[in-house]
A and B are shown apart, each in its own frame.
Chain A
Amino acid sequence: MDINATLLGLMIAFVVFVLFCMKFVWPPLNNAIEERQKKIADGLAASELAEKDLEQARKQADDELKAAKLEAATLIDQAKKRAAKLVEEETQRGHAEREKIIASGYAEVEAERNRVREELRKQLGVLAIAGASKIIEREVDAQKQSDIVEKLVAEL
């Protein structure tokens, strides 16, 4: 347990190891650690930026969606109005058509009645004449009036 030359040997070894450590051990390890730290810091910053971007994009998408919904609603509204108007117009036109058709039907019926009435009147005249001639035939000598009859017959 005496102090001896081991002490000197150990001091020399100590110096050598410390110098070696200083030259070949510490710098590469420390560089690696510091570089990785920088990398991680950069990565974190980038991810934060990306997150912000994402947030913004989401907001923008939201806005656009809202605008699109609004536009769609307007469009649908317009279309409904337009459809209602169209239906209204068509109904009115249909009504008008019906009125016209009914009116023309009445007119036709009226014309037919007039025509039939005229015809009836004509035939009534003929009948009257025929009846009158029957009556006359009995009263008057047929012989005498035969020229009229013949004339009538010829006329018929």
Chain B
Amino acid sequence: MAADGKMTPTEYISHHLQNAQIGEGFWTVNVDSLGMAIVLGTFFVWLFAYVGRKATTGVPGKLQCFIEMVVEFVDTSVKETFHAKSKLIAPLALTIFVWIFLMNLMKLIPIDFFPLFWGLLGITVASGLGKGEVSEGAGVIARAMDHPWSYMKAAPTTDLNVTLGLALGVFVLIIFYSVKHKGLGGFVKELTFTPFNHWALIPFNLVLELVTLIAKPISLSLRLFGNLYAGELIFILIAMIGLFQLPLHFAWAVFHILVIILQAFIFMMLTIVYLSMASEKH
């Protein structure tokens, strides 16, 4: 980075794609993704538990109405698709839907606000951490964006770790439900004797079924990640074109409202579908 704080487009893009990290190698933690995910998840459970505790069966308030609308929506989706009895599936779907929605929603924060806020906080309370590539004489914004804290990103779902973490959680549940409803033997039999019910074709079946099984979490996580990451990239590109970015940002953000809800819904719906497939007896 130049000493006067001017970023080249490449630097700007890579700055915005870089997560704030702590640690080395595999044991690196993306502080921004994990932190925002936990903050938003906590907000979700706090809000819903708060409303749930105060919920009346009489005339509900507006907040309760809204929360109940979401719950009702998730409940309907679950009941339509998942026919086995389960205490876990509906709360799971609700958590996935609202949590992912909130995480996606963070994308609507203009992309420079969050890094700038953390960068400013960084040069205020931890100025010693600065990378020092920008001279002291540079502007406060340049110095803020030079601070390592300015790598904080607002939307956790643009991080593959987050989406893959969610998908792996669902994957574990798929296996759990398969074993629970079909028995371990049934599950193994499903992996080895479908689609071709012949002993000679067991290896072929196994390869086919394992690919099918593993494709589920991969597709789940990559779909969410890809959509959000691409959207983020467009936001970053729009941010570099000068004054005309304002209407373009607005248009893209409006379009993105759709993506935000849709991707949360798709993730939830596919989770339900996968789990109902896992718990169906053939």
Interface residues of A (CB under 8 A from B): 1-11, 13-15, 17-18, 20-22, 24-33, 35-36, 39
Contact = CB atoms under 8 A, between A and B. Distances in A.
Nearest to B27: A5
6 closest Cβ pairs, A-B complex: A10-B165, A28-B52, A32-B55, A6-B161, A26-B91, A22-B91
Given A3-B160, A17-B95, A9 B34 contact: yes
Interface stretch (B65-73, B233-241, B246-254): B65-73
Interface string B127-167: 00000000000000000000000000000000111101110
Contact of A6 (B29, B53, B169): B29
A21 B57 contact: no
B277 interface: no
Nearest to A35: B57
B41 interface: yes
A5 B26 contact: yes
B17 A7 contact: no
> Would you call the interface of chain B mostly helix, strand, loop, or mixed?
helix
Contacts of B55: 28-29, 31-32
Contact of B94 (A1, A13, A21): A21
A25 B97 CA distance: 14
A84 B34 CA distance: 106
B164 A7 contact: yes
Interface of B: 17, 21, 23, 25-30, 33-34, 37-38, 41, 44-45, 48-49, 51-53, 55-58, 60, 64, 67-68, 71-72, 75, 87-88, 90-92, 94-95, 99, 159-162, 164-166, 168-169
A24 B92 contact: no
B95 A10 contact: no
B91 A6 contact: no
Given A32-B52, A39-B57, A4 B169 contact: no
B52 A10 contact: no
A1 B17 contact: yes
21 contacts: A3-B161, A4-B26, A4-B28, A5-B27, A5-B28, A6-B28, A6-B29, A7-B161, A10-B34, A13-B41, A15-B169, A17-B44, A17-B45, A21-B94, A26-B94, A28-B49, A29-B67, A32-B55, A32-B60, A33-B68, A39-B58
B41 A30 contact: no
B29 A30 contact: no
A10 B169 CA distance: 9
A30 B91 CA distance: 10
Contact of B52 (A7, A11, A29): A29
Looking at B28, B71, B161, which has the most chain A CB atoms within 10 Å of its CB?
B161
A41 to B, nearest CB: 13
Contacts of A13: 34, 37-38, 41, 165
Contact of B34 (A6, A17, A26, A31): A6
A4 B160 CA distance: 10
A27 B91 CA distance: 9
Given A22-B92, A29-B55, A7 B165 contact: yes
A35 B152 CA distance: 44
A11 B169 contact: yes
A10 B28 contact: no
Contacts of B99: 17
Looking at B45, B99, B168, which has the most chain A CB atoms within 10 Å of its CB?
B45
B92 A29 contact: no
A35 B11 CA distance: 57
Contacts of A3: 26, 160-161, 164
